[in-house]
Amino acid sequence: MFVLQHGTVAASLVEQYHQPTRRPGARPRVSRVKGPMTLIKGKVALITGVARGQGRAHASRLAAEGADVVGVDICTQPDHVSIPGATHEDLRETERLVSRAGQRFVAHVGDVRDFGFLRSVVDHTIAEFGRLDIVCASAGVWAISAADGAVSDAERAGVWETTIATNLMGAWNTLDAAIPAMIKAGNGGSITLIGSVASMSGQLPMDSLGSRVHAAQMGYVASKHALVGLMRSYALALAEHSIRVNCLAPTGVRTAMSQNEIVEAIGERHPSAFDVFANRMPIDVLEPEDVSSVLVHLVSDSGRFTTGVVLPVDGGFLLR
């Protein structure tokens, strides 16, 4: 159905079936279909983790497809996380990209672990736009560090709590804040949780058991697995409202989370540490935009009957 909105397809149909009779010398009539194809025109999307990386790519792409974007990011360095955090400058760049696509961008700086904050974001969104159609929970942390040796008990607990609270509870908070407003608006909708190939597979240790890296890995893989249970339960509960809930499972993506000095330091210490991230297709990492393309399918009419699935974007990673 959506192809009829596609400028090129619609234009060719016009040519094929509605050949106008033209006076000789008259200027050719043009199709009334104008502008680029937009798959989600008029929709409003809430994206967490929007300041950089995949969240930014999703904001930019959904805007290019016609959606206004409400973005959430903490824009600071979370405790127990060593990979450098996003900044306000990063968030401004996302705003610039959405504006360049001709769409509105409303930014909220805050923490997805704070349910009250997310409720106020949704209240503000409804007051401003009157609707909320698309939710993408992308905010996440990977609390690896360059530190060698055994992790202290306190740090081990801190790494676990931060990871679970951000990656899992943050997503849960985002859904619970958004869903009442989506149901009330009565427009259906699409919710996507950004999982990982770690949602569907165990991870071999990249460093010794009992190390900080290992604690971070275990928290990460547990949080990403748990997102699948959350997704399936919400998909069941929301199907009757035509609100779809899915999980995207990317392999390694070229963002600050995977491309940084900490990852390099671990790689130098354990040259085979990152063998666990090898893909079957001849590609080391995806670009964030590769994930955005699949997100567009899920949140637009092209994926209108897809709900309750984990969709890998993984170059064959999970085929092992």
Ligand X SMILES: NC(=O)c1ccc[n+]([C@@H]2O[C@H](COP(=O)([O-])OP(=O)(O)OC[C@H]3O[C@@H](n4cnc5c(N)ncnc54)[C@H](O)[C@@H]3O)[C@@H](O)[C@H]2O)c1
Quick check: 53 binds ligand X (CB under 6 A)?
yes
Pick left, alpha or beta for residue 301 (phi over 0 → left; psi -120 to 50 → alpha; otherwise beta). Answer: alpha
Quick check: 139 binds ligand X (CB under 6 A)?
yes
Q: Are residues 214 and 233 in contact, defined by beta-carbon separation less than 8 angstroms?
A: no
Closer by beta carbon to ligand X, 86 or else 179: 86
Closest CB 25 distance from ligand X, rounded Å: 57
List 13, 256, 265, 273, residue binding ligand X (CB under 6 A): 256
Quick check: 74 binds ligand X (CB under 6 A)?
yes
Quick check: 315 binds ligand X (CB under 6 A)?
no
Quick check: 68 binds ligand X (CB under 6 A)?
no
**Contact pattern for ligand X over residues 13 through 42, marking x by CB under 6 A:** ------------------------------
Amino acid at 32: R
Q: Please enumerate in sequence order all residues whose Cβ is within 8 A of that of 153, keeping only pairs 6 or more positions apart, or say none.
A: none
Closest CB 169 distance from ligand X, rounded Å: 9
Closest CB 263 distance from ligand X, rounded Å: 10
Full DSSP string of 241-258? GTEEEEEEEE--BSSTTT
Interface size with ligand X, residues (CB under 6 A): 32
Task: Give, in order, the Cα–Cα distances in Å from 89 to each of 51, 94, 96, 121, 234.
Answer: 8, 9, 11, 21, 34
Closest CB 48 distance from ligand X, rounded Å: 6
Length in residues, the chain: 320
Quick check: 140 binds ligand X (CB under 6 A)?
yes
Quick check: 55 binds ligand X (CB under 6 A)?
yes
Quick check: 71 binds ligand X (CB under 6 A)?
no
Q: Please enumerate in sequence order all residues whose Cβ is within 8 A of that of 53, keeping only pairs 6 or more positions apart, or say none.
A: 86, 138, 253, 255, 256, 257, 288
Of the candidates 105, 160, 172, 220, the residue annotated as catalytic is: 220
Task: Give, in order, the Cα–Cα distances in Å from 153 to each of 156, 162, 215, 221.
Answer: 5, 14, 10, 20
Q: Please enumerate in sequence order all residues whose Cβ is within 8 A of that of 32, keeping only pairs 6 or more positions apart, or say none.
A: none
* Residues 236-255 within binding reach of ligand X (CB under 6 A): 250, 252-253, 255
Closer by beta carbon to ligand X, 84 or else 210: 84
Nearest 5°: phi and psi at 146?
Answer: -80, -10
**Radius of gyration for the alpha carbons in the chain, expressed in angstroms and rounded:** 22
Q: Are residues 41 and 64 in contact, defined by beta-carbon separation less than 8 angstroms?
A: no
Quick check: 194 binds ligand X (CB under 6 A)?
yes
Closer by beta carbon to ligand X, 179 or else 193: 193
List 65, 111, 133, 290, residue binding ligand X (CB under 6 A): 111
220 is catalytic: yes
Quick check: 85 binds ligand X (CB under 6 A)?
yes
Q: What is the DSSP letter of 84?
A: P
Residues labelled as active-site residues: 220
Residues at the contact surface with ligand X, assessed by CB under 6 A: 48-49, 51-55, 72-74, 78, 85-86, 111-113, 138-141, 166-167, 170, 194, 196, 250, 252-253, 255-258
